[in-house]
Amino acid sequence: MDNVGLIAAVSIFTAGLTIGLGSIGPAIGEGRALAQALSAIAQQPDEANRLTRTLFVGLAMVESTAIYCFVVTMILLFANPYWQYFVQQSGGGQ
């Protein structure tokens, strides 16, 4: 396997690993946050509006981690900074 094929294989593998592992943490965090918020609303229904607003802000912050992993994955797949370098080194860019 030449360098271009190796870079393509490693980029695809790393992109899959990034999006896979990068979505597990936020999913678990969002599930736990939602469970705690529902428990808090069940205990104090009068504070439901405040708890819901705080929950949505927290969920947005947790979800940003998954979005960053998605962005890294798209960069690895479609805008890989090493791709053009290795294509030129192999003589394919001429």
Question: What distance in Å separates the CA atoms of residue 45 and residue 27, rounded to the nearest whole number?
Answer: 26
- For residue range 63-90, what is the model confidence (pLDDT) as tens digits? 898 899 999 888 888 888 777 777 777 7
- Domain 15-83 in CATH: superfamily? F1F0 ATP synthase subunit C (1.20.20.10)
Question: What distance in Å separates the CA atoms of residue 93 and residue 88, rounded to the nearest whole number?
Answer: 5
Residue 92 — pLDDT band, cuts 50, 70, 90? low
Whether this model's pTM surpasses 0.75: no
Residue 94 — pLDDT band, cuts 50, 70, 90? low
pLDDT at res. 57 = 92
Q: What is the DSSP string of the chain?
A: --HHHHHHHHHHHHHHHHHHHHHHHHHHHHHHHHHHHHHHHHH-GGGHHHHHHHHHHHHHHHHHHHHHHHHHHHHHHHS-TTHHHHHHHTTTT-
Kindly list the domain boundaries of the chain, sorted by start residue. 15-83
- For residue range 29-55, what is the model confidence (pLDDT) as tens digits? 899 999 999 999 999 999 999 999 999
- For residue range 3-23, what is the model confidence (pLDDT) as tens digits? 778 888 888 898 899 899 889
Question: What distance in Å separates the CA atoms of residue 41 and residue 61, rounded to the nearest whole number?
Answer: 21
Question: What distance in Å separates the CA atoms of residue 41 and residue 27, rounded to the nearest whole number?
Answer: 21
